[in-house]
Chains A and B, each alone.
Chain A
């Protein structure tokens, strides 16, 4: 198959998946037993006039398929409804909360690659040794820890007791930011401060980033360690590795130059899965660390009975997860031509 056709097929598939996600969310939002008008109106006790207005606005009197088409029409135009609590369009709010989440998520992802990949390689090359068992135990521990609990324990130890990191409150300290005003270029705290050479803000941002990033990286670290271990073991069993060894190449060259290259390819798929876990993690970690991101926005929405806000987050999460997986598939297909044939 032509590479372009392969990419096109992935994108079309994504389109259908997203359409399905919109139907699923629609069903949850409209078909539930409670009165959807009430749900969309938020926490305040709405009067009948307000409910009527919402029924009109969301076409809740029409048959369900008409309702769905209206709903699809609105989300395609970027209209995710208006938060009844904050009286701000949900799409606008999500866009404000997205950059800090992306920053935290990227940091966590890089951290999990930096930690998970070496663990996987060491486990595979020292199979069935104490190293392997320790790596495995660590990975299992990381997926078994409730993120909200370990996040609080970390705060207790590293902030309240040791005072090693910044207080769990946002992504930069306000005092530092007002003393060293930051020129916004990209919208990401770390990148902007790095670009403008604002070291005080950078230091503060990193201090705020390290704990939530670490907690958030746990699940994806374990995932990457696990998949890279399996694919490394698979690669080490191949004939060409045996041939290379027979030719007398050093173990170093065999592992890092020959086996690793092929083992890395399946590991890319782990990154797609990791994005899903980072989205889940963002909900918990951002809430614990008061991080102004989309995950905390979702939890706030739940607690304020702001249903449009929550639904907006769900749609955005579906979109991010879907796009991430398409990118991973395309990269995978690019690196391993056999995949394209399938």
Chain B
């Protein structure tokens, strides 16, 4: 069975089980390796992507649920092949330590800033709460979100 899904503006035909999580389709079939597998339970946020303007856990997103919906991944935020605004803010603040959570963090931040371009400190904490960083660079991540909001 083949399902057509739109990722970063391009249509892809996904072969296989319709219950397959979007994360596996992205990484194994389309070759976009930005989103990471962390817990597979929607608890850590490493797999966060944006679907129709909402940040979602791609590990809990069956491809069969994506008919006619638009997916954006961290690769979709590149501007002319270079880091986009949120990427650059994370680089400037050196917000990554091991980096495993970062593409999920970037997508969560992108979603937050699309809904509220000028979030308060509390708004950033609440908005980023679903994504975890085991290295503990949360302070730098919050600075990066603030920097992205300013630029």
Q: Do A and B come from one complex?
A: no
**B-to-A contact residues, CB < 8 Å:** none
